[in-house]
C-alpha cells in the first residue's frame, strides 16, 4: 500500500485518535438516587446492585432469569428465578400522590429449533427480595399454587408469556398482572408482528411507563434497535397505591416448565422513578410538637432568609444574562416584547403557525430592517418557563446568528423578557415540508422536480452545518416538520443548532428512549437511544428518514402493511430493495411521473443513511454528490444490517481532523471489526 507521507501522517493521527476513543469505551452503568441504567450485566460486579434469587444468574452479559444452558436440557426444566434491584423506591406518599416511573429494557427469550417455548418472564414490582418456592411452570416466578391471587403478594407485573394456560389468550402475549399470573388485561402479539420467542434469536425493546398523576400505565414494544413506537401495545389505568407497598423493589422474574423451556434473558435495563418530596405539613407539625416553639421559629426564620437570598441571587442572575445578551457583538437585532405581542395580535391562536419541539411559532408583522419596513416574520416562543444553561445558550445564539446559508431559515432577531425567550425568523410562505407531503389536497405542489430539489437543498444545508462553518453544528432534530419551504419551494432548514443549548443536561433515556420526543419517531438514530448524544452521523440518519419520506410520501413513524406484515418505512423499502422492486416504494401519488434513475438513487441513499451502524453511514459530502449524480450509487446490502451496541463506531468523522474530501461511503479507515457480541 503506497501512502504518501502526508496521508500516512493523517492515518497515524486518525488511528491515535481512534485508539484514545476506544480506550474510553466500556460498559455504561449509572446509578442515581432515582434510577439506574445497565447496558450489560456481569455477575462478578453487579451483586452490589442486584439480587439474584432462585435459579437466576447473569452470564454472557445478560441477566439469565432461569438457567442458561443449551446442552443440558435437564437443568432447564421447572426453573424459576428473579433478579431485583437492591434499592427500594418510594412509590406513593400521603394523599393521592404517586411516583411516576419509566423503565426500558431489552429482552431476548431464546429457544433452539426443536424446543417448544415455555413459560415466560415478567417485569415486576415486589414488596421484598424473596421469591415464592416452586414458582416454576405457569407461575412465572411471580406466585405459586398457594399464593396466587392473594392481595398480600403486593406484586404488580407486566408478563411476557410464551405458553398458553387455560386463562391465557394464546402462547404469545403480554399482560398486566396484579398479584396473580391471571392477567387483568392482555394483548396478543401475533397481530402486532411480534413473536416473543421465535426460532431465531430476537431482541425486543420494551418501555414501561407509569404516570403517577393520570395513573396510566403503558407498555411499548419494538424489535431491538428500533425506536419506541408511537402507540402502546397495552395500557391500563391502575392505582398502584392500592396494590403495592410504599417502598417497593423493581426487577424481573421468569420461569420454565416441562417439557417446554426457553432462556429468559434481559440484556439491558434502565429505570427512572420520580422522587416524591418528603416535605409535608405533617413533618413540620411533628417537629413543632417534639422540640418546641422556639426551634420552629428559628427554622422558619432560616427558611425566610434562605428564600430571600435565593430570590435576590436569581434576579441578579437574570439581569446579568440580559446584559450579556444585549452587549454581545454580532448579535442579531433585539426586539421589544411588546412589539412582538402587537405583531402577533397578542400571540393569538389565529396567528399560530405551528408547534415545534421547543415552543409555539406565530406569524407576525414586524418592522424589521433599516427603514422600518413591515415584513412578515415567524416568532418562536419557547415553552420552557425559564431558561436553563444560559451560558450555553448565549454561545449558541451567536453561532446560530453567524450561520448563513441559502438553505437555512434566517434568524432575524431575538427577544428575552422576564425569563421568556423568543426568536424571530424569516417567514416561510409555503410552510413546512410535512404539510405538503400529507396535508395538501393539491398533489401537484410536490412534483418530482421539487422533491428532488428539496432534498438537494437539505443535503447542502446539512453539509454546511457539519463542515463549512468553523464550529461544527449538529442539527439534532432533522425531520420534515423542520424543513421549511420558501416561495419557490426551495428547502430551508429551521431550528438548527438550538437543541444543544436548550437541552439542560437531561440524560439520554429521559430525552429519547422514554420521553419519546413527540413527532420524532423514525428520525432518531438507534445509537441515540444508548448515548443520548446527537452527532453528525445521527443527523445523517435523520436525513435518510427524510429522503425516504419525501420519495415514498409516507411518514417514517407509520407502519406499512405489506402482505399481512407490518413494516416501518425503512424496513419496507429495504425489503423491496432485497426483492429487486425498490421503485415500488415511490409515492403512488406521483403517478409514475418521476425520473427513474433519480428515484432509485435517492431510495438507495436513504437506505445507506439509515444504516444501523453510525460509522457506516455516508457523510454529507458524499450525500450531496450522490444526489447530484457525481458519485456512483451507494452499494446497499440486500439485508438491513443488525444494530449492535456498543458498536465499533468511532468519532473519526466527527473529530476536528477533517477527513479528506474524497471520503468514500463506508470506509473511515478506522473500523477495527465488531466488538465481542457474546450473545448469539
Ligand atoms: C416438572 O414439574 C412437573 C409438574 O410440576 C412434573 O410433572 C415434572 O415431572 C417435572 N419435571 C422435572 C424434570 O422436574
Ligand atoms: C434437539 O436437538 C439437539 C441436537 O440438535 C438434540 O441434542 C436434542 O436432544 C434435541 N432435543 C429435543 C427435545 O428433541
Ligand atoms: C408458596 O410460597 C409460599 C411463600 O411465598 C410458601 O409459604 C408456600 O409453601 C408455597 N407453596 C407451594 C405450594 O410451594
Ligand atoms: C393470603 O395470605 C395471607 C398471608 O400469607 C394469609 O393469611 C391469608 O389467609 C391468605 N388469603 C387467602 C384468601 O388465601
Ligand atoms: C384485576 O385486578 C384486581 C385487583 O387485584 C382483581 O381483584 C381482579 O380480580 C382482577 N381481574 C381479573 C379479570 O383478573
Ligand atoms: C389505551 O388503549 C386503547 C386500545 O386498547 C385505546 O383505544 C386508548 O386510546 C388507549 N388510551 C390511552 C390513554 O392511550
Ligand atoms: C417518563 O416518560 C414520560 C414521557 O414519555 C415523561 O413525561 C416522564 O417525565 C418520564 N418520567 C420519569 C419519572 O422519568
Ligand atoms: C441483542 O442485543 C445484544 C446486546 O445489545 C447484541 O449483542 C445482540 O447481537 C443482539 N442480538 C440480536 C439477534 O439482535
pLDDT digits (tens, 9 = 90+) for 537-556: 989 999 999 999 999 999 98
Asked if pLDDT for residue 47 goes beyond 50, the answer is yes
Between 260 and 646, name the one with better pLDDT: 260
Q: Tell me if 38 is assigned to some domain.
A: yes
Between 647 and 280, name the one with better pLDDT: 647
Q: Which atom of ligand 4 is nearest to the CA of 146?
A: 14
Count CA atoms closer than 13 A to 266's CA, side-chain side.
32
State the pLDDT at residue 196: 96
Burial of 292 (0-12, 13-18, 19+ CB in 10 A): exposed
Query: What is the greatest pairwise CA distance in the chain?
Result: 87
End-to-end CA distance of the chain: 36
Confidence class for position 496, pLDDT limits 50, 70, 90: low
Q: Which ligand is nearest to the CA of 72?
A: 2
State the pLDDT at residue 278: 52
Q: Please give the grid coordinates belonging to residue 279.
A: 416535605
CA distance 225 to 205: 7
Asked if pLDDT for residue 223 goes beyond 70, the answer is yes
Question: What integer best gives the mean pLDDT of the chain?
Answer: 77
Using a 6 Å cutoff on CB, does residue 583 contact ligand 6?
Answer: no
Q: Which of 35, 37, 92, 100 to mutate to test the pocket of ligand 7 (most atoms within 8 A of CB)?
A: 100
Alpha-helix runs per DSSP H in 553-619: 569-578, 596-609
Sign for the CA dihedral angle at 69, 74, 77, 81 comes to negative
Asked if pLDDT for residue 611 goes beyond 50, the answer is yes
Q: Is 279 annotated as a binding residue?
A: no
Asked if pLDDT for residue 43 goes beyond 90, the answer is no
Q: Tell me if 48 is assigned to some domain.
A: yes
Distant-in-sequence, close-in-space partners of 202: CB < 8 Å, separation ≥ 6: 108, 195, 223, 224
* CA 613 to ligand 8 centroid distance, Å: 13
Q: Which of 176, 184, 215 to mutate to test the pocket of ligand 5 (most atoms within 8 A of CB)?
A: 184
| Parent domain of 574 | 433-665
Q: Is 370 one of the catalytic residues?
A: no
Q: Which atom of ligand 8 is nearest to the CA of 678?
A: 7
Domain termination site, one of 426, 442, 459: 426
Q: Which ligand is nearest to the CA of 113?
A: 2
| Region of poorest pLDDT, from 53-62, 110-119, 196-205, 284-293 | 284-293
Q: Are residues 626 and 531 in the same domain?
A: yes
Inter-CA distances, 116 with 73, 196, 375, Å: 12, 12, 70
Between 509 and 427, name the one with better pLDDT: 427
In percent, the amount of the chain with pLDDT more than 90 equals 42
CB 189 within 8 A of CB 171: no
Tens-digit pLDDT profile for residues 55-110: 999 998 999 999 988 777 888 999 999 999 999 999 998 777 889 999 999 999 99
**Residue at grid coordinates 421465535:** 198
| Region of poorest pLDDT, from 229-243, 367-381, 473-487 | 367-381
| Region of poorest pLDDT, from 28-37, 266-275, 380-389, 487-496 | 380-389
CB 424 within 8 A of CB 340: yes
Q: Which of 220, 515, 520 to mutate to test the pocket of ligand 7 (most atoms within 8 A of CB)?
A: 515
Q: Are residues 512 and 528 in the same domain?
A: yes
Mean pLDDT of 310-325: 46
Between 429 and 14, name the one with better pLDDT: 429
Q: 542 φ, ψ to 5°?
A: -60, -40
* CA 127 to ligand 3 centroid distance, Å: 16
Using a 6 Å cutoff on CB, does residue 211 contact ligand 1?
Answer: no
Alpha-helix runs per DSSP H in 292-442: 293-327, 337-343, 390-402, 433-434
Distant-in-sequence, close-in-space partners of 371: CB < 8 Å, separation ≥ 6: none
Q: Which atom of ligand 5 is nearest to the CA of 179?
A: 5
* CA 679 to ligand 2 centroid distance, Å: 20
Q: Are residues 418 and 445 in the same domain?
A: no
Cα–Cα–Cα angle for 656, 660, 665, nearest 5°? 105
Q: Are residues 207 and 341 in the same domain?
A: no
The 10 Å Cβ neighbour count of residue 579 is 10
State the pLDDT at residue 559: 86
CA distance 490 to 251: 52
State the pLDDT at residue 277: 66
Domain termination site, one of 207, 238, 273: 273
In percent, the amount of the chain with pLDDT more than 70 equals 73
Q: Tell me if 286 is assigned to some domain.
A: no
* Cis peptide preceding 330, ω within 30 of 0: no
List, as one string, the DSSP characters of 137-186: GGGTTT--TTTTT-GGG--EEEEEE-S--TTSS-SSEEEEEESSSS-SEE
Q: Are residues 452 and 525 in the same domain?
A: yes
Inter-CA distances, 112 with 74, 117, 265, 486, Å: 15, 9, 14, 57
State the pLDDT at residue 147: 95
Q: Which atom of ligand 6 is nearest to the CA of 236?
A: 1
Q: Which ligand is nearest to the CA of 258?
A: 1
The 10 Å Cβ neighbour count of residue 196 is 22
Asked if pLDDT for residue 291 goes beyond 90, the answer is no
Residue with CA nearest ligand 1 atom 7:
258
SS3 96: coil
User: What CATH number is given to the structural domain containing 419?
Assistant: 3.30.200.20
User: What CATH number is given to the structural domain containing 223?
Assistant: 2.60.120.200
Q: Are residues 340 and 489 in the same domain?
A: no
Q: Which ligand is nearest to the CA of 126?
A: 3
Q: Are residues 357 and 448 in the same domain?
A: no
State the pLDDT at residue 114: 84
Tens-digit pLDDT profile for residues 629-653: 888 888 898 888 877 666 544 333 3
Using a 6 Å cutoff on CB, does residue 150 contact ligand 4?
Answer: yes
Q: Tell me if 639 is assigned to some domain.
A: yes
Using a 6 Å cutoff on CB, does residue 531 contact ligand 6?
Answer: no
The length of the chain is 680
State the pLDDT at residue 425: 86
The 10 Å Cβ neighbour count of residue 247 is 13
Residue with CA nearest ligand 5 atom 4:
178
Residue with CA nearest ligand 6 atom 8:
235
Tens-digit pLDDT profile for residues 158-195: 999 999 999 999 999 999 999 999 999 999 999 999 99
CA distance 548 to 107: 30
**Residue at grid coordinates 452490589:** 48
The separation between CA 36 and the C-alpha centre of its own chain, rounded to angstroms, equals 17
State the pLDDT at residue 566: 87
Q: Tell me if 65 is assigned to some domain.
A: yes
Inter-CA distances, 654 with 380, 474, 616, Å: 30, 10, 13
**Residue at grid coordinates 425568523:** 425
CB 619 within 8 A of CB 662: no
Domain termination site, one of 378, 397, 426: 426
State the pLDDT at residue 31: 86
User: What CATH number is given to the structural domain containing 564?
Assistant: 1.10.510.10
Query: Which of 12-26, 99-113, 375-389 has the largest mean confidence?
Result: 99-113
Q: What is the 3-state secondary structure (H, E, C) of 188-211?
A: ECHHHCCCCCCCCCCEEEEEEEEE
| Region of poorest pLDDT, from 277-286, 556-565, 630-639 | 277-286
Inter-CA distances, 37 with 41, 159, 184, 266, Å: 11, 21, 29, 13
Q: Tell me if 507 is assigned to some domain.
A: yes
- The secondary structure of residue 92, as a DSSP letter, is B
State the pLDDT at residue 27: 57
* Number of domains forming the structure of the chain: 3
Asked if pLDDT for residue 459 goes beyond 90, the answer is yes
Q: Which atom of ligand 8 is nearest to the CA of 645?
A: 5
Q: Are residues 267 and 404 in the same domain?
A: no
Using a 6 Å cutoff on CB, does residue 367 contact ligand 4?
Answer: no
Q: Are residues 418 and 440 in the same domain?
A: no
**Residue at grid coordinates 417497593:** 248
In b/e form, how buried is each residue of 22-38, taking b as 16+ CB within 10 angstroms? eeeeeebbeeeeebbbb
SS3 309: helix
Q: Are residues 447 and 515 in the same domain?
A: yes
Q: Please give the grid coordinates belonging to residue 461.
A: 444545508
Asked if pLDDT for residue 285 goes beyond 80, the answer is no
Q: Tell me if 657 is assigned to some domain.
A: yes
Q: Are residues 255 and 161 in the same domain?
A: yes
- Catalytic member of 55, 434, 477, 495: 477
State the pLDDT at residue 664: 25
* CA 673 to ligand 6 centroid distance, Å: 44
- Ligand 7 pocket (Cβ < 6 Å) reads 100-102, 209, 272, 274, 510, 514-516
State the pLDDT at residue 2: 35
Q: Are residues 219 and 362 in the same domain?
A: no
* CA 145 to ligand 3 centroid distance, Å: 7
CB 526 within 8 A of CB 612: yes
Shortest CA distance to 260 belongs to which of 180, 184, 161?
161
**Residue at grid coordinates 447473569:** 58
Q: 10 φ, ψ to 5°?
A: -60, -45
Between 532 and 283, name the one with better pLDDT: 532
| Region of poorest pLDDT, from 10-24, 371-385, 392-406, 588-602 | 10-24
| Helices (runs of H) and strands (runs of E) counted in the chain | 15, 27
Q: Tell me if 282 is assigned to some domain.
A: no
Using a 6 Å cutoff on CB, does residue 145 contact ligand 3?
Answer: yes
Using a 6 Å cutoff on CB, does residue 154 contact ligand 3?
Answer: no
CA distance 302 to 311: 14
pTM given for the model? 0.51
Amino acid at each position: 500500500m503506497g501512502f504518501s507521507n502526508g496521508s500516512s501522517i493523517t492515518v497515524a493521527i486518525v488511528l491515535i485518535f481512534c485508539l484514545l476513543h476506544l480506550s474510553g469505551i466500556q460498559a455504561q452503568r449509572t446509578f442515581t438516587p432515582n434510577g439506574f441504567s445497565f447496558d450489560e450485566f456481569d455477575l462478578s460486579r453487579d451483586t452490589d446492585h442486584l439480587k439474584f434469587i432462585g435459579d437466576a444468574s447473569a452470564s454472557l452479559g445478560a441477566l439469565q432469569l432461569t438457567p442458561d444452558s443449551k446442552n443440558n436440557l435437564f437443568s432447564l426444566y421447572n426453573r424459576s428465578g428473579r433478579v431485583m434491584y437492591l434499592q427500594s423506591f418510594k412509590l406513593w406518599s400521603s394523599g393521592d400522590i404517586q411516583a411516576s416511573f419509566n423503565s426500558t429494557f431489552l429482552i431476548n427469550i431464546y429457544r433452539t429449533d426443536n424446543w417448544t417455548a415455555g413459560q415466560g418472564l415478567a417485569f415486576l414490582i415486589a414488596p421484598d427480595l424473596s421469591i415464592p418456592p416452586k414458582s416454576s411452570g405457569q407461575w412465572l416466578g411471580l406466585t405459586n399454587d398457594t399464593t396466587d391471587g392473594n392481595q398480600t403478594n403486593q406484586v404488580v407485573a407486566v408478563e411476557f408469556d410464551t405458553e398458553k394456560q387455560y386463562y391465557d389468550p394464546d402462547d404469545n402475549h403480554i399482560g398486566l398482572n396484579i398479584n396473580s399470573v391471571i392477567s387483568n388485561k392482555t394483548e396478543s402479539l401475533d397481530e402486532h408482528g411480534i413473536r416473543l420467542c421465535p426460532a431465531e434469536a430476537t431482541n425486543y425493546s420494551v418501555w414501561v411507563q407509569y404516570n403517577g398523576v393520570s395513573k396510566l400505565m403503558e407498555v411499548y414494544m419494538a424489535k431491538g434497535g428500533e425506536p419506541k413506537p408511537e402507540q402502546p401495545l397495552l395500557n391500563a389505568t391502575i392505582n398502584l397505591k392500592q396494590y403495592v407497598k410504599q417502598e417497593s423493589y423493581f426487577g424481573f422474574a421468569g420461569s420454565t416448565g416441562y417439557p417446554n423451556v426457553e432462556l429468559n434473558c434481559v440484556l439491558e435495563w434502565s429505570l427512572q422513578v420520580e422522587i416524591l418530596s418528603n416535605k409535608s405539613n405533617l413533618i413540620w407539625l411533628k417537629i413543632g410538637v417534639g422540640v418546641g416553639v422556639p426551634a420552629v421559629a428559628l427554622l422558619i426564620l432560616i427558611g425566610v432568609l434562605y428564600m430571600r437570598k435565593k430570590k435576590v441571587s436569581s434576579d441578579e442572575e437574570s439581569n446579568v444574562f440580559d446584559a450579556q445578551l444585549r452587549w454581545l457583538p454580532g448579535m442579531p437585532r433585539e426586539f421589544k416584547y411588546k412589539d412582538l405581542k402587537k405583531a402577533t395580535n397578542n400571540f393569538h391562536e389565529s396567528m399560530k403557525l405551528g408547534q415545534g419541539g421547543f415552543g409555539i411559532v406565530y406569524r407576525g408583522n414586524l418592522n424589521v430592517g433599516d427603514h422600518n419596513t413591515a415584513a412578515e416574520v415567524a416568532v418562536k416562543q419557547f415553552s420552557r418557563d425559564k431558561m436553563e444553561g444560559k451560558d450555553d445558550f448565549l454561545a449558541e445564539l451567536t453561532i446560530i446568528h453567524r450561520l448563513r446559508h441559502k438553505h437555512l431559515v434566517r434568524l432575524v432577531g431575538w427577544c428575552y423578557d422576564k425569563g421568556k425567550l423568543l426568536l424571530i425568523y424569516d417567514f416561510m410562505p409555503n410552510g413546512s415540508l410535512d404539510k405538503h407531503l400529507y396535508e395538501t389536497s393539491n398533489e401537484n405542489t410536490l412534483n418530482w422536480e421539487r422533491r428532488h430539489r428539496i432534498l438537494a437543498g437539505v443535503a447542502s444545508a446539512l453539509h454546511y452545518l457539519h463542515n463549512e462553518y468553523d464550529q461544527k453544528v449538529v442539527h439534532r432534530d432533522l425531520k420534515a416538520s423542520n424543513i421549511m419551504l420558501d416561495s419557490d419551494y426551495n428547502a430551508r432548514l429551521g431550528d438548527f443548532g438550538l437543541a444543544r443549548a436548550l437541552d439542560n443536561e437531561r440524560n439520554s433515556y429521559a430525552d429519547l428512549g422514554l420521553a419519546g420526543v413527540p413527532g420524532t419517531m423514525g428520525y432518531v438514530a438507534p445509537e441515540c437511544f444508548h448515548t443520548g448524544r446527537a452527532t453528525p452521523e445521527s443527523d445523517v440518519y435523520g436525513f435518510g428518514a427524510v429522503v425516504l419520506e419525501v420519495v415514498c410520501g409516507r411518514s417514517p413513524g407509520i407502519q406499512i402493511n405489506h402482505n399481512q406484515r407490518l413494516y416501518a418505512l425503512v424496513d419496507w423499502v429495504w425489503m423491496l430493495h432485497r426483492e429487486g422492486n425498490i421503485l415500488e416504494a415511490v409515492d403512488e401519488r406521483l403517478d409514475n411521473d418521476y425520473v427513474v434513475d433519480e428515484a432509485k438513487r435517492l431510495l438507495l441513499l436513504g437506505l445507506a443513511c439509515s444504516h444501523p451502524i453510525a460509522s457506516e453511514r455516508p457523510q454529507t459530502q458524499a450525500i450531496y454528490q450522490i444526489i447530484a449524480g457525481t458519485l456512483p450509487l451507494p452499494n446497499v446490502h440486500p439485508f438491513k444490517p443488525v444494530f449492535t451496541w456498543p458498536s465499533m463506531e468511532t468519532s473519526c468523522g466527527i473529530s476536528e481532523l477533517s477527513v479528506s474530501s474524497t471520503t468514500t461511503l463506508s470506509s473511515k479507515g478506522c473500523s477495527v471489526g465488531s466488538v465481542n457480541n457474546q450473545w448469539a
